[in-house]
Amino acid sequence: MGVENLKKDDYKYQGMRKQLVEELREKGITDEPVLKAILEVPRHFFSDNAFDVHLHMDKAFRIACGQTISHPYTVAYQSTLLQVKKGEKVLEVGTGSGYQTCILLHLGAKVFSIERQKPLFQKAKNLLLDELGYSVKLFYGDGYKGLPSFAPFDKIIVTAGAPFIPEPLIHQLKEGGIMVIPVGEGEEQVMTILIKGSDNQYEKIELDKFKFVPLLRNKVK
Ligand code: SAH
């Protein structure tokens, strides 16, 4: 691998992340482990354009295949709701750039992440496994089905807008487990927390509205 391929972080980027964390605090994010993870994870590693001035503002930006990396606020919001404890098994649906995946890893989770678009899966795999050396399980597949052979999970996070809560995901959640999923068919989705009880029963809490790219069926090449 040539030196030009090595990802570099420096004081300039760290300074921009400090500012980003302050902006998130002002917007109401108070979870210290989540803010620490955002401070630690070099956001510019996940973009094709590390010099983009918007990268460290609270904005979403484009990645390959017409997808986006979520707003830092959205990542922080969902990560806070997930209440990740060290060593917990977390299923993420929608790997995308791998940024949210990386935040979960910094929170100490054992992460299993699925992406339906082959080029994004491949890119995230090269970055997280080969370049950055994280221990993470990445899958190319349809997140509507979850990962039955690795279930049950302590937590499930869905990072695309789901028209409904997929039944297999509810099944694959541990009793007492939490799922965080944006639900809605139109332009906007309602951030929803599902807390699983016994006998596949669950409690649902609906929170703020967000705009996500849609959760689509079937994997694509
Ligand atoms: N967590 C990502 C956000 C990416 S946007 C990040 O931090 O960058 C949502 C992602 O979900 C897209 O990459 C999209 O391709 C993927 N996706 C949509 N439907 C899916 C499905 N059924 N299974 C797996 N991934 C899906």
Average pLDDT along the chain, 221 residues, taken 10 residues at a time: 65 94 97 98 88 80 83 97 98 97 98 97 97 97 98 98 98 98 96 94 97 94 92
Which pLDDT belongs to residue 59? Answer: 86
Which pLDDT belongs to residue 2? Answer: 43
Which pLDDT belongs to residue 5? Answer: 53
Which pLDDT belongs to residue 47? Answer: 86
Residue nearest to atom 11 of ligand 1 (CA): 94
Which pLDDT belongs to residue 1? Answer: 43
Which pLDDT belongs to residue 56? Answer: 85
Closest by CA position to 33, among listed 76, 92, 91: 76
Q: Can you tell me which atom of ligand 1 is nearest the CA of 65?
A: 15
Q: How many angstroms is it from 171 CA to the middle of ligand 1?
A: 20
Which pLDDT belongs to residue 49? Answer: 77
70 in contact with ligand 1, CB cutoff 6 A:
yes
154 in contact with ligand 1, CB cutoff 6 A:
no
Residues annotated catalytic, as ranges = 70
Q: How many angstroms is it from 11 CA to the middle of ligand 1?
A: 31
Q: What is the pTM of this model?
A: 0.96
Which pLDDT belongs to residue 54? Answer: 80
Q: How many angstroms is it from 17 CA to the middle of ligand 1?
A: 24
Domains (ranges, CATH) in the chain? 11-210 (3.40.50.150)
Three-class SS of the chain: CCHHHCCCCCHHHHHHHHHHHHHHHHCCCCCHHHHHHHHHCCHHHHCCCCCCCCCCCCCCEECCCCCEECCHHHHHHHHHHHCCCCCCEEEEECCCCCHHHHHHHHCCCEEEEEECEHHHHHHHHHHHHHHCCCCCEEEECCHHHCCHHHCCEEEEEECCEECCCCHHHHHCEEEEEEEEEEECCCCCEEEEEEEECCCCCEEEEEEEEECCCECCCCCEC
